Amino acid sequence: MSSSLTLLVTGASTGLIAGGAACAAVQGGLLAGAVTRRQTAVPPSRPARPASRNSTKQQPAIQRPADTSDPRPLAPVAAFLSGKLLSHTLLGALLGVFGDALQPSPRARAVMMLIAAAIMLLFALDLLGVKAVGRLVPRPPASFGRLLRRSAKTDSVATPALIGFATVLVPCGVTLSVELVAVTSGSPIAGAAVMAGFVIGTAPLFAVLGYLFRRSSQALSGRLAVVTGVVVLGVAAWTVASGLQAGGWATLDLTPGDTPAAAAAAAPTETTSGDKAPAARADGPVRIDASGQQIVTLTVTDFYVPTQFTAHAGVPTTLVLRGKDSGGCARAFTIPELGVQEIAKRNGDTKIDLGTRKAGTLHFTCAMGMQTGTIDFKKA
């Protein structure tokens, strides 16, 4: 249960920080179509007078301007978000159930993130009015557009709920990242938790946008599109950086700057008198045990500590993920070069056999590419 609660918080924080803007760019049209109500003319205040015998034309009925007041401005927005929450929670549960079969490699996930970032870039430029990208932006089928236009003729909450449910078919790049965390969870409850948390995190921005779409003028909607486009450009850049890190192709400094300096390897000990090895050699982040095995210990909390190691090349090496109240995406640990994917224990050790490494740098990262580190193997 604690793992599911942690993933719920992870999904919510991801949705609140990055997912709202990215999803709004991709799904904003669906949101606008779902919550925008067609204003209809109000019936005349009094019956029209019958035409006189001498008149040649029948006088039209006197009509008041359309009533723009809306007693329930948030009802369709709430219905849209409820449908979205239901579909994404169900998807998360399915991804958790079939995680082993559906789980892509770390670099396959990274490629998906980069593709999603490119799509977000197109959406952002389209929102900013760049006409050259208009033909490249993915659009819903024409039949779906007609459904949205028909939905504007009714105030039934069923239609925005169904459209919100259908947003699961139009994911943004950040959504794909969270779906991958659901896959690696290997549990229907944990998968559902991270996806539900993500939708909950995006809900505040969607609620505000939905309310404004419901009540605003066309001019204001245009300004909202420009602001959203600028934000999505930033999210697309963030997704590119995360994708490059998730694939192990680059290491950018996205982790906190207060992590300890690189942990250096202890020199192998040659003892003939049975003396005990120094404490630093026995308990340090990088050590050589009595059997000659090199042990690299990475502490996993909400972050990785330390993020840089220096180890001996040519020595059999085991990486130990030491969970200490671990949480967030840091638990979904990957080594892209080796195709390693492990979920660190909340409290306890998870061992990964790295074999005998040659001299070089080995990159590790969380599944979302947000937290990274390196092990630099050097010849003794």
More reliable by pLDDT, 200 or 44: 200
Residue entry with tokens 């909202």: 224
235-256 pLDDT per residue, tens = 778 878 888 988 988 877 544 4
Burial (CB count within 10 angstroms: exposed 0-12, middle 13-18, buried 19+), residue 261: exposed
How far is 82 from 89, CA to CA, in rounded Å? 11
Q: Please enumerate in sequence order all residues whose Cβ is within 8 A of that of 146, keeping only pairs 6 or more positions apart, or say none.
A: none
Report the candidate in 358, 360, 356 with the shortest Cα–Cα distance to residue 374: 360
Integer angstrom CA distances of residue 337 from 70, 106, 112, 249, 343: 56, 8, 17, 9, 17
Q: pLDDT averaged over the chain?
A: 75
Return the pLDDT at 67: 44
168-193 pLDDT per residue, tens = 877 766 777 678 778 767 788 988 99
Residue 125 · residue 133 · CB < 8 Å: yes
How far is 355 from 317, CA to CA, in rounded Å? 6
Instruction: Give me the architecture of the 263-378 domain, per CATH.
Output: Sandwich (2.60)
pLDDT of 338 over the 90 cut? yes
212-230 pLDDT per residue, tens = 776 665 555 567 667 767 8
Residue 208 · residue 81 · CB < 8 Å: no
How far is 67 from 215, CA to CA, in rounded Å? 12
Domain parsing of the chain, residue ranges? 2-38+70-246, 263-378
* Confidence bin at 156 (pLDDT 50/70/90): low
Integer angstrom CA distances of residue 62 from 195, 314, 348, 372: 53, 91, 77, 69
Identify any residues that bridge with 298 across adjacent strands, giving them in sequence order: 321
Return the pLDDT at 323: 94
Q: Please enumerate in sequence order all residues whose Cβ is within 8 A of that of 139, keeping only pairs 6 or more positions apart, or say none.
A: 145
Which of 33-47, 80-94, 337-351 comes out lowest in average pLDDT? 33-47
* Six token digits for residue 162: 């169904």
